Amino acid sequence: MGIFNPEHGIFRLTEKMADLVLLSLFWLVCSIPLVTLGPATTALYNTVLRCIRGDERNSWALFFRTFKENFKVGALTSLVVVPLLAVLVILHELLYQMALTDRTGYVLYSAYQVFLLLPVGAVCYLFPVLSRFTFQVSGLLVTCCKLAIAHLPSTVLMGLIVFAALMVCARLPILLVLVPTVVAALHSFLLERIFRPYIEAQRQTGEEEEDEE
């Protein structure tokens, strides 16, 4: 079969590159109603982790299956997160206008940009956590706030990644077909390290329950 063998390295690399674009497009389309931002992001993270970083196939099917399975909690969480992000964006624009007028406004705007790293970084935990664990909305929000504080350097770094992605897309909008998947992949390197002990503890608990039965 040679190069046309589906298991050939070049074939798999080409498949993953195509997934980078397709998954970004899926995420963009599914996020348009905004209330579906949560399940779309959950699906994107899970598919990137298992198909881009991992070796699973059928990324399309996995994306939409994950989207469907996490729709309720993801959508309800979006109803909390999207208004919060909207308020942060409005404040950003107001302070930006102040920064154009005087030095005090510029200082306030600069300080606000630094502050934004925390809430934006904290939001970055929400839907990856939902893709890896089972939570209701309140438990998900509380857990992610705790994780964001406990792993502050990773929280800030994820916020920086998001800001860098927004700047890149603002200058080159065409990269929207690639950036969402790349951001999810970069976040996964930080998040999976954080999730590992919890996943192992969950697995051990499951094994103990099976032994008791």
Mean pLDDT by 10 residues, the chain (213 residues): 56 83 96 95 96 89 96 96 94 91 89 91 96 93 94 96 95 94 96 93 70 59
Q: Which domain holds residue 208?
A: 2-212
Instruction: Please say whether the beta carbons of 42 and 82 come within 8 A.
Output: no
Give the other-Cβ count within 10 Å of 185's Cβ: 17
- Provide the whole-model pTM: 0.89
Alpha carbon of residue 48 to chain centroid: 10
Task: Specify the number of domains making up the chain.
Answer: 1
- Tokens representing 132 are 């890896």
Q: How far is CA 17 from CA 1, 23, 48, 58, 122, in A?
A: 21, 10, 11, 14, 29
